[in-house]
Amino acid sequence: MARGLTLSAGLTAFIALVLVHETYCTATANVTDQCTPSVCGNINISYPFRLMTDPKNCGDSRYELWCEKNDTAVLSIFGGKYYVKEINYRAHTFRIVDSGIQNENYFSSPKYSLYRFWQYYYPRNDLSLWLPDGNTYLNRIMIFMSCEKPVNTPLYLNTSTCIYNGEYSSNSSISHSKRYKYVKIREEMSLKDVKDSCKVEQTVMTSWPLQNDSPNISCTEVHNQLAYGFRLSWHPLICERICGWRSCRIDELKGVQCGGGKTGG
């Protein structure tokens, strides 16, 4: 069995949620600051986000962005550089893409791997991989593997079969000589997905909508999922700020509802 990453145990700890109390009351405190929103390209930036050029009292420093080439919002998070593609202030989610992925290059590869989330997550208890309902997981896992022997299964995509502009994907930075390269996409991660002759090279996340229920994937689908990126939710930050702790619900109509019968001020 391949070794190196304790995938299922690490991810379980990574996405653990605080149980919600059974009684709630609606908090009335404002979850935004009074700063004028900023803009970078097509991204509107307001609390908890801020631009580096905004006044220091605006937004949260952990969500500081810079505007690259005046049209691309960039976030430094989990030890990596990510492009911000979308901020949904109603759902309290944002979508980011690894800066190594290029839309026009089907074999550009992610610079950062999921192990960085385990390394950097615990100081970031303001983020979640789940929606506030506690039941909706925001992403799927993409596992990139290299194998000593060919693997014959429709659940793996052999990336060396991908051709773009007449060139095979062996030119990709994910691929190395004398090993067979595969990728698998699934809802969760487990060592049982890794064949005995294979080792995990990278694990990344994607929230690209599933097109069908088939386990088969294509080279184009892999690229699309990488280029779409993944989502995170900042609802724990809102719960902590409004309720004074992380046990709360967020309702689009009722707003923030604090647990345990307590209202944050």
Q: Which of 8, 192, 198 is nearest to 118 (CA)?
A: 8
Max CA pair span of the chain? 63
> Amino acid identity of 29?
A
Give the model's pLDDT for residue 4: 42
pLDDT per residue as tens digits for the range 1-33: 444 444 444 444 443 333 333 345 554 444 556
Mean pLDDT of 213-226: 79
Do the beta carbons of residue 255 and residue 25 sit within 8 Å?
A: no
CA dihedral angle for residue 174, residue 177, residue 180, residue 181, rounded to 10 degrees: 10
Cβ-Cβ contacts under 8 Å for 250 (sequence gap 6 or more): 92, 132, 235, 238, 239, 256, 257
Q: What are phi and psi of 238, to 5 degrees?
A: -65, -45
Q: In this structure, what token pair is assigned to residue 122? A: 């615990």
Residue-range domain boundaries for the chain: 7-259
Mean pLDDT, rounded, for 39-61: 95
Taking alpha carbons only, the member of 119, 121, 139, 120 closest to residue 129 is: 139
pLDDT of residue 14: 41
User: Of 188, 97, 174, 78, which is closest to residue 142 (Cα–Cα)?
Assistant: 188
Q: What does residue 258 show for φ and ψ, rounded to 5 degrees?
A: -80, 145
Query: Cα(208)–Cα(220) distance, rounded to whole angstroms?
Result: 12
Most confident of 7-11, 80-84, 169-173, 257-261: 80-84
**Residue 26: exposure state from Cβ atoms within 10 A (0-12, 13-18, ≥19):** middle
Report yes or no: 11 and 188 within 8 Å, Cβ to Cβ. Answer: yes
Residues 111-121 have pLDDT tens digits of 888 765 655 55
* Measured distance CA(200)–CA(7) in Å, rounded: 10
How many Å is the Cα radius of gyration of the chain? 20
Q: How far is 73 from 44, CA to CA, in rounded Å?
A: 10
pTM equals: 0.77
